Amino acid sequence: MQEDADDDDEFELVGFDPSHLELFPKIKPYVKLPNKLLSVLNDDITKFIVRKDNANWVAVIDALFQDPTKPFRQLNTNCVITLLRVIPRDQRLLCINKIYKMVVDAGLNRNTYVYNSLMATYNLTKVESAKPIVEMLFNEMEQKGIKKDAITYSIMVNLYSKFQDVKKVKLYLSKFKEIAVPTQQVYTSVLQMYVRLNEYELASEVFATMKFLSVNTAPSARTYTSMIYLDVINKNIEHALNLYDELLQSDIVPEADTLLTLARGCARYSALEGWKLIDKYREFGFG
């Protein structure tokens, strides 16, 4: 019977290449990123975005911004768009100025998609701060002859609706309609503008259009809240309650503001109805 080989006998692992082993493998971010973007993120930067629950994108952008090698010059427009999409909204607002400066320095502000991404992000900031920057970016698109699409015009509708600039909202809404059917978000922006202006008939007209135009433009919980609020301040409680019933029949979960607004409105006429709505508020887990 043949004895087992001695422990110190040499042996070979077929197909094994030790050169492929990494003692310290490269750290990977929690989110999928383009290879070009990954190539400029060393471990000292990537360590900030290993886990989604504690990712610090502000630190990542700070590091890229301070890098004397100007890493954004190695990127393409797809990297910029992806970056603006994956950074959570609250952190994106904190670093958009630095991202914009790096984009301009690298000459990456050269197509519709990059401009839309930048404008949409700035449009999330305070309206007073957003307006001059979004207008500047829009004017740059015109000067460079960069094509504007439905998203571009929806951003402008949203911007000017916040400023209650009816003339410009109508202008950009008409340009949107030349390209596509306005979306639920676009109609909601217009409706909320009329709500702020307390233009009851115009808001009602937009709301009706949303309901009957198509499934894709059907009012959301936010839209119902806006319209119910307008009903309440115009003392049209019966219509507000009808809208609330319509909302429930559409299997839309009402917002907390919907129920509170209705409760306050009903309380003026019937304390009992007001308390019933407060009970509903609690049933939906709002309080």
pTM for the predicted model, two decimal places:
0.82
The helix or strand, by DSSP H or E, that contains position 185, with its residue range, turns out to be helix 184-196
Task: Specify the pLDDT at position 79.
Answer: 96
Sign of CA dihedral 206, 208, 209, 210: positive
- Give the separation between CA 169 and CA 189, rounded to whole angstroms: 9
The helix or strand, by DSSP H or E, that contains position 57, with its residue range, turns out to be helix 57-66
The rounded average pLDDT for each run of 10 residues, N- to C-terminus, in the chain (287 residues) is 48 53 74 95 95 96 97 96 95 96 96 96 91 97 96 96 95 95 92 95 94 89 94 92 93 92 84 82 84
Place of tokens 């409105």: 265
What the block records as the tokens of 45 is 């930067």
Domain boundaries, the chain: 220-287
- Return the amino acid letter for 114: V
Phi, psi torsion values for 12, nearest 5 degrees: -120, 135
Tell me if residue 29 falls in helix, strand or coil.
coil
What the block records as the tokens of 132 is 């001059």
Task: Specify the pLDDT at position 11.
Answer: 44
Assess contact for 161 and 189: CB atoms under 8 A: yes
